[in-house]
Amino acid sequence: MAGKVVAMSKKKASRGGSQRFSGNGAAAATTKWVGQPIRRKEENRLVSGKGIFVDDEKMPGMLHIRFVRSSYAHAKITRIDVSKAEKFPGVVCTLTGAEIKRQVQPFIEIGPGGAQKIADYPLAADKVVFQGEPVAAVVAETRLAAEDAAELVEVDYRPLPPVVTAEDALKDESILHPAMGTNQKTFKQAAHVVRIGRLHFHRFSSTPLECNVILATWDPRSGDIEYHCNNTFPSFASQFLAPALGVRIDQIHMKSFDIGGGFGIKITSYPYMAVCALASRKAGGRAVKWVETRIEHMQASAHGNERTFLDTRVALDKTGVILAIDSKHVDDCGAFPRYEPLGCVIWAQVLPATYRVKNVRIDMHQVVTNKCPVGPNRGYSRMQHLWFMERVIDICGQALGIPADEMRRRNYIRKNEMPYKTPNGCVYDSGDYASMLAMAKKLVGWDEWKKKQAAARKEGRWIGLGIGSTLDSGTNNFGQARIINPDAPFSGQSKVGIVKLDIYGEVVVSMGSVPQGQGHETTAAQVVADALNITPALVNVRPGFDTAHNAYTGHTGTYASQFAVTGLTAIHGAAMKLRKELSRLAAWKLQAKEQDLEFGVGGQGPEVRVKGRQKAINYWALANLVNVNNAGMPESLWDITLNCRHVFHANFQIPDVKRKYGNLTLTYAAQVHAAVVEVDRETFQPKILTYACVDDCGKAVNPLIVEGQVHGAAAHGIGAALLEDCAYDADGNLLTATFSDYTPITAMNIPDLMYGHMESPSPFTLNGAKGMGEGGAAPVHTICAALQDALYPSGVIIDDSHNTGDSLFRAVQKAESGGYAGMVRVEHRRASR
Amino acid sequence: MYAAPFSYHRAASLQEAVKLLQELGEEARVIAGGQSLIPLMKMRMARPAALIDINFISGLSDIQTSKGELRIGATVRHADLENSSAGTTIPIVHDCAAGIADVQVRNQGTIGGSLAEADPSGDWGTALLALESSVICAGPDGQRTVPLEDFIKDAYTTVLAHNEVVTAIQVKIPPKHSGGAHLAFKRSAPVYPTASASVQLTMEDHHMCKDARIVLGCVGLTAIRAKEAEKALQGKALEEKNVRAAADAARAAAEPQSDMRGSADYKRLLVGTLVKRAIGIAARRARGESVPAGHEYAGR
């Protein structure tokens, strides 16, 4: 029932932006296949059971590993005894934290100062800091024996007091304090100042169908470590693992084939990868496999960041335009920073959200607590901040009596202001948020619902209309890490693509990405088909990732909404290099001028031919000339390899670390969602009556894949808003370690989604595409906005991102007893402007 | 995840199942659909030494109607009932069967297993208590028939002796002018409800309620017959005042506990509302209307 609207916005010249897209100098090919909603190439393989997942892989003599985990959130380990486990039939060896500590270096920390002193080992040695933290491992001939023997490992703990909330953690010394500018003068000029009390963005996660799986072999002969695993950022993992394990990066062979979803959460599996390699070494070089169980995944893989927003002040002019925001944010990263503190800075990519506000001061803190460490989770770190900004917009709108749509219209960055430079130096490439909002409103029937809402209110019904505007900033500049740690030795962004002609003339593509369902094989084939004027069916894309293909840099992985930009531009660059080589070869063989040649598909497959004449040479013959039949080739053509590698570089600078200023991301896809939600007067259950997603990711390389990603992201966000919560009790026990308690969203919870698509091409990328797929948790903003609208007359302030019938029941009770008094305070001033 | 070691025995007949139970002792468990037992075993929260499989016993998965009684074999799957004519005859059976967990569980899980497990949140224990139901158990001394209200004694506890097996459930087909509904609120598909309510009404005429049975699920150690709520309707007109009194009495009868599904206060509120709505649907059905009802899910 998708009401599909496509609006095209014309590609406009870049105004004032420092970056323009520059390809590799070759003329852009036609876009016959790019932009087509073709079916995914990988579909048949996956739905007919031919996918190859890590757990499908078996190796001769393969062993199985089982972790022994802490049941405490915070405790001193007083004794570990593995002797009974080691005697269990089938057990090959065990590993303990104390043993591993002697063999490895602690993992690198990205954070500065005190964070550098955190000793993060893959198994806890002296002390555990979250429930589920691994303390020992048992390696056995079968998985069953490993599980049986793991129960025989005896561990004694002396419990320590746990810290489970950010506010408690803040009582100690906070770790990080990035802040920006000063707003005092602006607040003096404001017509209204709105003060907002504590807001809280809850902890939720991704629930990929396939949990973490690792198959590791540390070959005692070569000293090389082979990993077949589903880590989605293998270059990052290698750079953490090599120094910890004391090997060279080229000794780590990483490969993946098919991956059953990730959404960011699989980036942080490297501590387990280290243990599996050490286990393999101890077992004499036999392969060791670890298949994470769902409970392990829920307890101890990674959760999304939890964030608390305190002491917010908003200055507005008399028309409701926000002049300044001042707030203190506390991010709770769980027991170890690990991939953090990147999340502590990545939100700054979207500092003013979709709004023109010029003055923003965020006093950012990050704390550690006795909970599962956090990791990237679809919408990583930006969604928390965007949710905060959307709450600010709605709360201020309601406080001043300005409707939600009008409040946004007045504050949105305008289309004609693009590319737009944010107060902290980021450049929003393109976008037309007001038109997206108009489309979303049209899809849900906003104006009619407004009338129905007024009538329903008279009957005592609680119906609310909500808007969620969100940004999916993609292609990150790793230089942003330097805002946290000026000494961090990384910056920019890069990806590799390889396109080659094999011996019989087959077009073969190796991707520098780690796809987990995003359809990379299909979009890569579309781009190469256009570059060579052939069809996607003639392009053979190797599934998965393999360091042996040599298509990687230190940034290689699939994260940060970027493949459509970085991966495809790299592949396009490689295809254009190949085209040039084919053209030179064909010109020699056909005795023609290069400019007289054209590419296409002839009777004998893909070919290069002389325009208007019957002279052509197919790819088989061209590959033959280089690979098996090269006697007589002129020396001027000896540089031709037909194996073309291209590295994409984004035009980034290192941010100004002192001012915390700079361009942190290349593209900004946007989503505007609108929903109508009714809160049942008797059960307090929120029910979504209608829901629309409007998406703008610039030029859609494959609109079918884009729509699928939007649906998936919307489901994830609706689940987060209404169902999914990583809840801990005061002792640090995870209360939602199974799906029965965590309740990930199912088809029964998802409303019919209406979908609208707009295209504001990016001036900074090939074809105007932008990365997308994270969706920025738009439904969390949207549903909170609708609930706020429904319950505002009852005095409720929606102050948490997670809302259930139960929590709304308690919120209405709280409102009735005056519990929200002082939560929002409005100060009207005699405006000086 | 792997279960702790156990031995597996496939029973060819009820007699053999009973004999195996006697021989293998207290550590043996009967397995039918396995939708509760197997997850518990793989998490090693249950460690039976032996499993006795009753899935292959013939005649245990029949649904029969005779002499005003519906007889449901112990290994009848939830999905079988969802799609059977029994669900049309007794709508409460369809409401219940169609919303248990998800499709996979409904295809595999059995009604006998559900009752024998006696989970306080199990749907069948609630829905069937709104009807006149009894459980047929087979043991070394032959068969005995136990009324459902006596069968489940406490959370996860029934009157079944260790060497007994549930063989069938007998349900008296409600009279004409009787209608029922089973309503449950679930957060997502695979989980137990937060609260559920089953109501069976027999009407005197269009407005007067002759008899009422009201049962609350998930708000106590077993399903709760809300007898005060029933009294609020019996022999009375189905008007708003009486329905509200029944809902209030149901709330008072609930003994909920706080957990991840909801706080005790919220469950108490919810169960009363479900009772109120179930009364409305049951009355319409008693009057011959066809009304869809069953499980509701967060969000839609």
User: Which pLDDT value is given to residue A179?
Assistant: 32
Cα separations in angstroms, A469 against A202, A390, A720: 19, 7, 16
Do the domain assignments include residue A167? no
CB of A314 closer than 8 Å to CB of A398: no
Contact at CB, B299 and A723, closer than 8 angstroms:
yes
Final residue of a domain: which of B157, B172, B187?
B172
Q: Work out the mean pLDDT of chain B and round it to a whole number.
A: 96
Do the domain assignments include residue A35? no
Q: Cα-flanking dihedrals φ and ψ of residue A295, to 5°?
A: -65, -40
Contact at CB, B263 and A151, closer than 8 angstroms:
no
pLDDT > 70: percent of chain A = 94
| First and final C-alpha spacing in chain B | 34
How many CA atoms within 13 Å lie on the side-chain side of A67?
Answer: 29
Q: Cα-flanking dihedrals φ and ψ of residue B182, to 5°?
A: -120, 115
Cβ–Cβ contact B289 with A under 8 A? no
Give the domain CATH number at A628.
3.30.365.10
In A154-269, which residue ranges form alpha helices assigned H by DSSP?
166-170, 184-189, 234-245
pLDDT > 70: percent of chain B = 100
Domain check: are A504 and A534 in the same one?
yes
Query: How does B124-163 read in b/e, with b if 16+ C-beta sit within 10 Å?
Result: bbbbbbbbbbbbbbbbeeeeeebebeebbeeeeebebeeb
Give the domain CATH number at A90.
3.90.1170.50
**Per-residue pLDDT reduced to its tens digit, B71-119:** 999 999 999 999 999 988 999 999 999 999 999 999 999 999 999 999 9
Which of B188, B274, B276 lies at the smallest CB-CB distance from A743? B188
Domain check: are B48 and B124 in the same one?
no
Which stretches does DSSP call E strand in A97-224? 127-128, 134-140, 154-159, 192-196, 199-201, 213-218
Stretches in chain A below the pLDDT threshold 70? 1-30, 172-184, 831-833
Report the alpha-carbon distance of residue A795 to residue A406 in Å, rounded.
Answer: 22
Which of B260, B263, B299 lies at the smallest CB-CB distance from A727? B260
Q: Give the total number of structural domains in chain A.
A: 3
Final residue of a domain: which of A621, A649, A677?
A649
**Three-state DSSP class for residue A477:** coil
Between chain A and chain B, the number of residue pairs with CB atoms below 8 A apart is 91
Domain check: are A620 and A757 in the same one?
no
Å from B184 to nearest chain A CA?
12
Do the domain assignments include residue B40? yes
Cβ–Cβ contact B276 with A under 8 A? yes
Do the domain assignments include residue B58? no
Report the alpha-carbon distance of residue B70 to residue A785 in Å, rounded.
Answer: 50
Angle formed at CA A693 by CA A690 and CA A699, multiple of 5 degrees: 160
Host domain of residue B31: 7-53
Domain check: are A281 and A363 in the same one?
no
**Three-state DSSP class for residue A804:** coil
Do the domain assignments include residue A1? no
Q: Which of residues 28-47 of B touch A (CB under 8 A)?
A: 43-44
Do the domain assignments include residue A25? no
User: Which pLDDT value is given to residue A659?
Assistant: 87
Give the domain CATH number at B125.
3.30.465.10
The amino acid present at B270, given as its one-letter code, is L
User: Which pLDDT value is given to residue A484?
Assistant: 82
Which of B190, B266, B270 lies at the smallest CB-CB distance from A746? B190
Domain check: are A242 and A269 in the same one?
yes
Domain check: are A745 and A713 in the same one?
yes
The neighbouring-strand residues paired with A734 are: A728
Contact at CB, A809 and B189, closer than 8 angstroms:
no
Cβ–Cβ contact B258 with A under 8 A? no
Do the domain assignments include residue A403? yes
Give the domain CATH number at B206.
3.30.390.50
Q: Give the total number of structural domains in chain B.
A: 3
Domain check: are B96 and B156 in the same one?
yes
Domain check: are A218 and A196 in the same one?
no
* Closest-approach residue (CA) in chain B for A747: B189
User: Which pLDDT value is given to residue A117?
Assistant: 79
Residues of A whose CB is below 8 A from B4: 148
Host domain of residue A227: 55-161+209-293
CB of B77 closer than 8 Å to CB of B71: no
Cα separations in angstroms, B34 against A404, A738, B76, B106: 51, 18, 13, 11
Domain check: are A143 and A198 in the same one?
no
**Per-residue pLDDT reduced to its tens digit, A286-331:** 999 999 999 999 999 999 999 999 999 999 999 999 999 999 999 9
Domain check: are B33 and B47 in the same one?
yes
Contact at CB, B300 and A749, closer than 8 angstroms:
yes
User: Which pLDDT value is given to residue A831?
Assistant: 52
Final residue of a domain: which of A293, A312, A340?
A293
Count the neighbouring beta carbons within 10 Å of the beta carbon of residue B1.
Answer: 15
Residue B108 has which token pair?
């595999």
* DSSP codes, B199-213: EEEEESSSSEEEEEE
